[in-house]
Amino acid sequence: MTVIRFFSGEQIPVEMHKTKILQKLNLIPIDKRLEAITKAGYNTFLLSNSDVFLDMLTDSGTNAMSDRQLAAMMIADDSYAGSETFTRLKKVCQKIFDMEYFIPAHQGRACEHLLAQILVRPGQLVPMNYHFTTTKAHIVSMGGIVVELIHEEALNPESSFPFKGNMDVDALHELLSDRGPEQIAFVRMEAGTNLIGGQPFSLANLKNVYHVCREFGVPLVLDASLLADNLYFIKTREPGCKELTVAEIVREISRHTDVIYFSARKLGCARGGGICTTDQDLNARLSELLPLYEGFLTYGGMSVREMEALAVGLEETLDEDMISQGPMFIAYMVEELERQGVPVVTPAGGLGCHLDAMRFLDHVPQRQYPAGALAAALYIVSGVRGMERGTLSEQRNLDGTEPLANMELLRLALPRRVFTLSQVKYVIDRVVWLYHHRHLIGGLEFVEEPETLRFFLGRLAPIGDWPDKLAEAYAQELAVSHL
Ligand SMILES: *Cc1c(COP(=O)(O)O)cnc(C)c1O
């Protein structure tokens, strides 16, 4: 991995790639941003991208592709059945993960849907390091119950523990011996644990989880959507792993897992998804469901061009310079904000920088969605779009009550290889301004609340007229002028 040292002693992440294609950006004035967020029901998902300056909503399907990926798209072999492209992609998956079977799917949640259909029976438990929104929705829709066996540091936003995505292995052992394997659908580990701030698990922890699963004969399923970041952290943070190549770390991971699935909107910087396994019976059952929900066995809902790009993207995941840009930029952002006193989740993880809205807006009650309010406020003062990852992203209980999220985070995703350091500095500047004016920000309430995954399409309104006051204060101090 290339780490450049500066004569000045500064720590600046340097990109090991250059820009070949660009997209022009738009920064609309603050009064237009206020209009846009009002029209969007104070939900950043409902903003139109033409009203967004820097889109830090997600890394899903927004990572920059390499020239090799784009070139590969041109040789895609489009055929309904038996395409050469599928054979190439399958071979890459077999080589990297060392698993015989590969089932293509249109994206990560499609893999979760297929696996939940086959593996989860009503009343069964699915122990995991932490849930992800779509994962939980699919397990619950099959009557399963998610049990989170988190590490004691996982929900501490001010931590220096390097592997907050670790599972509590003793708790897993206790649960499996109490309930017995029949009551467990599968055990799930999520790489780069998304909802707690892109936090990794260690290779040692995964191995321990796997040994417990073996002892009880329960399958271990790995959600590898954010594996690239997790690989970087294992390589740079875990004792004994510095000498391993990334390819060797992946091999170790797959040797200690039964099923690996991923969203190729993240892993491999393309669009699509897939399930890898060595289990012949599971493969046969997945193959039966595939044509019903996704498409024929040789494309599973993906376009062949994306499949070619994915094959190259997966190989590039083994290149340390390719996977280090995201975590290095995120670390820069997290450390700079921390230095300026802004509450962020530490240590820096993958995926993005996470502002801790519980501390940032400690005057806004959790039932008024502080992370959602912070997302709206940041958009108003910067044109930057982040994503609420807190109570809004939770689903109501069956009895209609609203569970409060463990953490209220505003995630500012850094899609890989997309933004420059000056853009990251702009975001830091606006977040710091917002922090100094945080008392101006108030809460939100639902106007329209959908039943499932309400954060995608729900509409909210500010409680009081705080957005106008915030915009006024901003316009006086910092409004951008167009010469
Ligand atoms: C994004 C994501 C998914 C879902 O993938 P999609 O391609 O968006 O459907 C599942 N698990 C994790 C950890 C993710 O980050």
The pLDDT value recorded for residue 482 is: 67
Where do the domains of the chain lie, and which CATH numbers do they carry? Answer: 30-59+321-477 (3.90.1150.10), 67-316 (3.40.640.10)
The DSSP output letter for 272 is: -
Which has the closest alpha carbon to 79: 272, 271, 293, 303? Answer: 303
Whether ligand 1 lies within 6 angstroms of the CB of 107 is answered as: yes
Whether ligand 1 lies within 6 angstroms of the CB of 223 is answered as: yes
Q: Positive or negative, the Cα torsion across 89, 91, 93, 95?
A: negative
- Cα R_g (the chain), whole angstroms: 22
Chain position carrying tokens 């106007």: 447
Question: Ligand 1: which of 58, 59, 109, 196 to mutate, most ligand atoms within 8 Å of CB?
Answer: 109
Question: Ligand 1: which of 194, 199, 229 to mutate, most ligand atoms within 8 Å of CB?
Answer: 194
Distance CA 432, CA 131 (A): 30
H or E segment and range at residue 108:
helix 108-119
pLDDT, one tens digit for every residue, the chain (483 residues): 888 999 999 889 999 999 999 999 999 999 999 999 999 999 999 999 999 999 999 999 999 999 999 999 999 988 877 889 999 999 999 999 999 999 999 999 999 999 999 999 999 999 999 999 999 999 999 999 999 999 999 999 999 999 999 999 999 999 999 999 999 999 999 999 999 999 999 999 999 999 999 999 999 999 999 999 999 999 999 999 999 999 999 999 999 999 999 999 999 999 999 999 999 999 999 999 999 999 999 999 999 999 999 999 999 999 999 999 999 999 999 999 999 999 999 999 999 999 999 999 999 999 999 999 999 999 999 999 999 999 999 988 889 999 999 999 999 999 999 999 999 999 999 999 999 999 999 999 999 999 888 999 999 999 999 999 999 999 999 877 766
The one-letter code for the residue type at 445 is E
Residue 283 CB neighbours (<10 A): 19
Distance CA 93, CA 112 (A): 18
Terminal C-alpha separation, the chain:
42
CA of 223 to the centre of ligand 1 (A): 8
- Catalytic residue positions? 80, 132-133, 223, 266, 389, 455
Residue owning the nearest CA to atom 6 of ligand 1? 108
Cis peptide before 343 (omega within 30 of 0): no
The DSSP output letter for 424 is: H
